[in-house]
Amino acid sequence: MIIHSNHFRSVRFHSAGRQNPMIRRNNLAFVGFALLAIGVGRGVAQPISVSGDDQALIQRHCLGCHNDRTLAAGLSLQGLEVQSVGQIQGEVELWEKVIRKLRTRAMPPPGRPKPTDAEYDGLVARMETAIDAVAMATPNPGRRPAVHRLNRAEYANAVRDLLALEIDARTLLPPDDSGYGFDNIADVLSVSPMLTERYLSAARKVSRLAVGDPALAPSTEIFEIDKYLKQDGRVSDDLPFGSRGGLAIRHTFPVDGEYVVKIYLSRTYDGRLRGLANRHAIEVRIDGRLVETLLVGGPVLDADGHEQRLDYRNSADDGQEVRFTASAGPHMLAVSFVAQAPVPEGMRRPHYAVTSYEYAGDQTLDPSLGRVELRGPYAVTGRGDTPSRRVLFTCRPPADAAAGGPDEAACARDILAGLARRAFRRPVTDADLEMLLEFFHLGREDGDFDTGIEMALRRTLVSPDFLFRRERDPAGVSADTTYVISDSELAARLSFFLWSSIPDDELLDLAERGELRRPGVLEAQVERMLADPRAGAIVDNFGGQWLYSRNMALVAPDPYTFADFDANLRGAMAREMELFLDSQMREDHSVLELMTSDQTFVNQRLAEHYGVPNVYGNHFRRITLAGELEPRRGLLGKGSLLTVTSYAHRTSPVVRGKWLLENILGTPPPPPPPDVPALAENDDGGVAPQSVRERMEVHRANPICASCHRVMDPLGFALENFDAIGRWRTTSDGGTPVDAEGELADGTPVNGPGSLTSALLKRPESFVTTVTEKLLTYGLGRGVEYFDAPAVRTIVREAADDDYRWSALIAGIARSVPFQMRRGPES
Amino acid sequence: MIITKMALPRRTFLRGVGATLALPLLDGMVPALSAMRNTAAQPVSRLYVGYVPNGVIMDKWTPAAEGAGFELPQTLAPLKPFQDQLTVVTGLESQPMFPLPGEGTGDHVRAAAAFLTGVHPKKTEGPDIRGGTSIDQIAAAKFGQQTQLASLELSLEPNELIGACEAGWSCAYSNTLSWRNPTTPLPMENQPRAVFERLFGDTDDTSQAARMARIREDRSILDSLVQEVGTFRGTLGAGDQDKVNQYLEAIRDH
């Protein structure tokens, strides 16, 4: 049979999608022969360039809906020639969309005849090769904005690295808006008057804390304890064994002096203290050393030696305070009860959930700590010797130096030159130093050498060169040119990507000497940076946002349905996710193991929740998920993910399905149509309770709904064994057994989390591509666009040789076109 | 009470004080909010806006009859002592809050964004958010001269949700009520301590001497900053200046 265009015109594409299978098979046979014929000369079995046969494939499977008349989803392929893919700039974005749909087998939609796997893979590979070849010749790195404000986390880390000072940025600065799922997107990070004021105020506080201010007046820091924290055992690794409840907090004491810790116990809902019929001991420790033990409750003897039961209901924590001397700098403040033996046999304590009404009113329960106030400094004795002072004061003027004289100025110049270089991430100019010295003298006037440095530091911290990341265009570039960014800009991109912070001296030195791009240097730096503790920022900021872990602090499971969801469990879930991600990245596993890993971390509270036996104590330890716990392997079994993708009172297979589509498969669904009524809830009256799945039958019954829900819902149903707070269950809300069976959009049957994971990883590059795109968005600070697709494909391809390890992906990103280069500005 | 704003336009003041470090109080710069000005006869106007997210029961809020001398409805009963200064306005249903045809869900987000702007926000989950300038900021721009701070945006809870708050809408829309301009939502302050410090400084000492010293220091920093940011901005192309413009404006207005 001879294939020529006439023949294809005669093949009508019916709207019902039926076609003559005979013709199709024959076409395929001939296509195969033709392909082989082309391939023989090169010794490869597959052709590498898009051909007329690919055009035929598209016509057969796509044009029936995606033509100018029907215009399904607003897309028409009519009149386009896939042979020219990559060559017509205006069409590339469209072809990339096609490629994505074909790669994930999302198109043709369920119910239509699909090409074979070989046809899919072949067509996509050829299209990608064509586009990538053009991209190699004329790369498009996109254009990061020239100015990119540091977000709150980056500000705190920059202060930490600049001054060896830990600050709580959440109290100093407002939260940042996010875009594309991350809060480090340049375009979204705007500046408001309120933020400016906060920067000015933060600069004052940070510089005062870093240098130490002997004239500091006392103030009060309040540390509240979550009222839903169950304080019946050791609650932190920073508290001693044998302690009960309380809190441990790392706090930077501003100066040498005296401080007061005042303790408030938690109260019932009507304001009374608890559990004071017996005596309890509260220990206050600094850096583990016992400062004082306070006693609350219990009987008191009167003048005749008779026991007198005082009414402690409101006053037992009056005057419960400790005054002590502390040196300036970071210290661990710990306040906790001493655990006492439980009540004698025969008397059972009622077990309440902390969220329950009964708990809120019961005075007889053991007391817990409500909040701790740290007041001071009083009787200041000096600035002290703190890490930040050691880092800042790289020299000291001679003792007899004149105030503001040449000796002091010389030392100030030294200090400020080093400070400015690291703060501004570039070589320091004379103008910078002149400006900072002016402020040194201003501060020196009313104080001493140290206050002079403090003032200059304050000025540094509000400078635009500190608060913003700059990327400069070289002279003469326009929107048609692309250029390689400078070494110092690359150094900053690397450090903000991997550490969410400023570059360190080693990076700055390499950049200044122009050596960052020497062969092997970049790779070595990436390796060094990933091994550094600062790389924990990727877990916190990338992982925390991609996996919605930050929302774990904000979710509010319904206290009636999930009475046992206390702050202990909430914290444990968050910590598990942190430790899991951290171990995956630090141990440089394949990113695929995020989904399949049999390792996780639990403490007693979480282990009880998951049904893991024989785990005791508050600290986390690594466990292997085997046997009955197999369904918990990987991300899909993590309590954190399962809870943030649920509603307060029940699971939502749709929310979970949507999350998986967006964040694992990289194919987000379109928004719902307007006026969709709410799903009937189980207590809507009159009807027997049903499982969530049963109530979602309407998604399948209604064809308008089905087109999207057929793709989303099965993903969520497969996870229905995990309830809205991630507990394993075999009975649904409706009392029927959980039905976790379904069929994915590409026809793969699934039943439960294990098979879902396998199905999601059937084409592992899809998952790796999604992770790469997320990492690239996070690393670039801009959304990933269609023209980044060749770079993403290169990264994924190269990482395949290294099992898709984290280091391979990250190094690939660091080497990639969008990371190393930039497009010129629009005129 | 310490006055920090002068009667002259701020920019004039900034330029005048630029090089000097002391704070001159010239006759021509009698503080707008001095005891002379803020008397019962000429009180300073302030605008307060309160948002009640779950709404009110309208038939217990709306007076039965129009005109003066109306009977105070149940919810408003505590305002009885001020009834003669009170006007209840009806007919203010916010049309921009309603969804456009085909827009779908998003009531909470639209309500927050349209409340003070009267503008239907642009539906997007991405960084291209667009609302409108809110009336409190319009008032702040016009009357902010008369008070120490032009505007305070306060909330009771921290708003830090990430991602999309309702399908298709960015959380930036529901994290605030106040917009400086159509593309700049203003963050809301929920820590009373921070507000106190903005007004009175962050030490225990609110005496005049301490505050004047603080103002002096702030001014020097701000002047130097205005210069530096201006230079910084000059090195940017027109399309890239936006963020820095916001910073510069915010410094100048401080």
pLDDT digits (tens, 9 = 90+) for A210-248: 999 998 888 899 999 998 999 988 999 999 999 999 999
User: Residue B8 CA to chain centroid, in angstroms?
Assistant: 21
Pairing between strand A256-265 and A321-326?
A: antiparallel
Q: Give the global pTM.
A: 0.84
Closest residue of chain A to B164, computed from CA coordinates: A181
Cα–Cα nearest to A779, from A423, A464, A500, A471: A500
Residue A785: per-residue pLDDT: 94
Give residue A669's pLDDT: 85
Q: Three-state SS for A386?
A: coil
Closest CB to B253 among A147, A193, A472 = A193
pLDDT, position B205: 66
Share of chain A above pLDDT 70, in %: 91
Closest CA to A73 of A113, A114, A108: A108
Minimal Cα distance from B154: which residue of A? A194
pLDDT of A5 reads 35
Q: What is the pLDDT of residue A344?
A: 56
Residue A699's pLDDT band (cuts 50, 70, 90): confident
DSSP calls for A337-369: EEP-PPPPTT-PPP---TTSHHHHH-SSSPP-E
Q: What is the pLDDT of residue A395?
A: 94
Residue A447 touches partner B, C-beta closer than 8 Å = no
Residue A683: pLDDT band (50, 70, 90) is low
Which residues of chain A does B170 touch, with a Cβ-Cβ cutoff of 8 Å?
177-179
Q: pLDDT higher for A318 or A786?
A: A786
Which chain A positions have a beta carbon within 8 Å of B158's beta carbon? 175
pLDDT value for A527:
95
> In this structure, are residues A669 and A708 in contact, taking their beta carbons and an 8 Å threshold?
yes
Show the domains of chain A with their CATH numbers: 5-137 (no CATH), 140-212+386-470 (no CATH), 219-382 (2.60.120.260), 538-587+593-760 (no CATH)
Say whether residue A205 is in contact with chain B using an 8 A CB cutoff.
yes
Q: What residues in B contact A825, CB-CB < 8 Å?
A: 237, 239-240
Q: Say if A471 is an interface residue toward chain B (CB within 8 Å).
A: no
A63 interfaces chain B, CB cutoff of 8 Å:
no
Q: How confident is the model at residue A653 (pLDDT cuts 50, 70, 90)?
A: very high
CB contact under 8 A, A194 and B189: yes
Distance from the Cα of A793 to chain B's closest Cα (Å) equals 24
**Cross-strand partners of A300:** A308
Q: State the Cα–Cα distance between residues B104 and B125, nearest whole angstrom.
A: 14
DSSP string for B117-143: T-SPPP--SSS-------HHHHHHHHH
For residue range A352-388, list pLDDT tens digits in order. Answer: 888 888 888 888 888 999 999 999 999 999 999 999 9
How many whole angstroms from its chain centre is CA A588? 18
Distance between first and last Cα of chain B: 19
Q: What is the mean pLDDT of residues A392-409?
A: 92
A108 vs A459, more confident: A459
- pLDDT on residue B33: 42
* Tokens at B183, concatenated: 């593309």
**3-class DSSP assignment, residue A821:** strand
- Residue B175 has what pLDDT? 85
User: Rg of chain B over CA atoms, in angstroms?
Assistant: 22
Contact B228 A435 (CB under 8 A): yes
Please choose, from the candidates A434, A388, A387, A386, the residue with its C-alpha nearest in 3D space to the C-alpha of residue A412: A434
Has residue A746 got a pLDDT over 60? yes
User: What's the pLDDT score for residue A343?
Assistant: 60
* pLDDT < 70 positions in chain B: 1-43, 159-165, 201-206, 254
Nearest to A462 among B170, B183, B221 (CB): B221
What pLDDT does A272 receive? 86
| Mutant choice from B23, B134, B160, B207 vs A, greatest count of A C-beta within 10 A | B160
Taking residues A111-130, what's their average pLDDT?
A: 89
Q: What is the pLDDT of residue B105?
A: 78
Residues 6 or more apart whose CB falls under 8 angstroms from that of A248 comprise A236, A238, A239, A332, A333, A334, A335, A336
What does residue A313 show for φ and ψ, rounded to 5 degrees? Answer: -50, -30
Lowest mean pLDDT among A19-28, A122-131, A206-215: A19-28
Cβ-based contacts under 8 A for chains A and B: 162
Q: Is B70 helix (H, G, I), strand (E, B) or coil?
A: coil
A706, A699 contact by CB (below 8 A): yes
Res A4 pLDDT > 80: no
Coil, strand or helix: which one is A750?
A: strand
Mark yes or no for CB contact B244/A147 under 8 Å: yes
What residues form DSSP beta bridges with A378?
Answer: A258
Which among A204, A458, A551 has CB closest to B162?
Answer: A551
Distances (CA, A) of A115 to A75, A85, A118, A666: 20, 20, 8, 21
Other beta carbons within 10 angstroms of residue A232's beta carbon come to: 18
pLDDT of residue B190: 81
Asked whether residue A690 carries a pLDDT value surpassing 80, the answer given is: no
| Geometric angle at alpha carbon A810, from A807 and A815, rounded to 5° | 120
ipTM at complex level: 0.75
Q: What is the pLDDT of residue A46?
A: 56
Q: Which residues contact B233 (CB under 8 A, 6 or more apart)?
A: B241, B244, B245, B248
Cis check: omega of the bond before A689, within 30 degrees of 0: no
pLDDT score at B252: 78
Give the model confidence (pLDDT) of A31-48 as tens digits.
333 333 333 333 335 567
> Which residues are bridge partners to A307 per DSSP?
A301
From the list A179, A191, A825, the residue facing B246 with the nearest CB is A191
**Average pLDDT over all residues of chain A:** 88
Q: Which of B187, B229, B232 sits opposite A175 (nearest CB)?
A: B187
For residue A459, which amino acid is it? R
Greatest Cα pair distance, chain B, in angstroms, is 63
Residue of B150, B151, B228 with shortest CB distance to A464: B228
What is the reported pLDDT for A6? 36
Write the pLDDT tens digit of every residue in A509-524. 999 999 999 989 999 9
- Tokens, residue A539: 């877990």
A413 CB neighbour count, 10 Å cutoff: 16
Q: Do B168 and A671 touch (CB under 8 A)?
A: yes
**Residue bearing the bigger pLDDT, A59 or A210:** A210
Is A439's pLDDT higher than 70? yes
